[in-house]
Amino acid sequence: MTALVIGADYLGGMEQKMRDMGITEIAHITGRNPGEVKRMHIPKAAAFVLVFTDYINHNMAKVVKSHAKAQSVPLVYAKRSWPAVEHKLAGLGL
C-alpha cells in the first residue's frame, strides 16, 4: 500500500509505525516551501493522503484537497502525533 504524507519536516518514528500497519511506500512532502505547491502530485498508487494540519500552509491544503478529490483518493487530516494518526488510519480500516 502506498501513502502520501504532507506536512512536517520529518516523520521520525511515525514512518516505521506506518510500515508496521502495512503501508509499504511512503511519499513525503513537507508542505512548507511555497514552490512545492506547484510540483505537488498524488502518486497513482496512493491509497490515501495523510495531511498533518499543524505543519501545512493554507494554499497547500487547498491544492491537496482539490487533487485528492479529482483522483478520488481518501484524504485524512491529523495532528502530528502517533495516537492521532493511528486513530485516523483505523477509521480507514488499517
CA distance 92 to 87: 9
- For position 3, what pLDDT does the model report? 95
- pLDDT tens, residue order, the chain (94 aa): 999 999 888 888 999 999 999 999 999 988 777 777 778 889 999 999 999 988 788 888 889 999 999 999 999 999 989 999 999 999 887 7
Q: What is the Cα 7 distance to its own chain's centre? A: 7
Give Dmax (Cα) for the chain: 33
- For position 49, what pLDDT does the model report? 95
- For position 58, what pLDDT does the model report? 84
- For position 40, what pLDDT does the model report? 84
Q: Could you give the C-alpha distances from 27 to 1, 80, 91, in angstroms and in order?
A: 11, 16, 21
